[in-house]
Amino acid sequence: MDAQLAIDVCHTMVWTGLMIAAPILVAGIAVGLVIALLQALTQIQEQTIATVLKIVAMVLVAAYAMPWMTEIMLERSIDIFHTIPRVIPYD
């Protein structure tokens, strides 16, 4: 395996991980920001409210985006399996 191929494979894996995790993380950040703003306005400083709502939002987004995430992971896995013959020579 040459260095450029290893770099390309690692780059693809990291980028795929970021793409898959991004919707869930953005949902958690958005809900956390809204809850923090509401808590600041109402002066209710209960941490379990924010935590539970963030978890619920992240689980809902994960459930909704699961088909898309599975499709992306399958495409990347197939791409990796197709690069194996180029990496391991058959001598």
| pTM score of the predicted model | 0.78
CA–CA dist 87, 1 (Å, integer): 5
**Residues contacting residue 1 through CB under 8 Å, at least 6 positions apart:** 87
Q: State residue 91's pLDDT score.
A: 63
Residue spans per domain, the chain: 18-83
Secondary structure (3-state) at 1: coil
Confidence of residue 54 (pLDDT cuts 50, 70, 90): very high
Rg for the chain, CA atoms, rounded: 20
Q: Is 44 exposed, middle or buried (0-12, 13-18, 19+ CB in 10 A)?
A: exposed
Q: State residue 29's pLDDT score.
A: 96
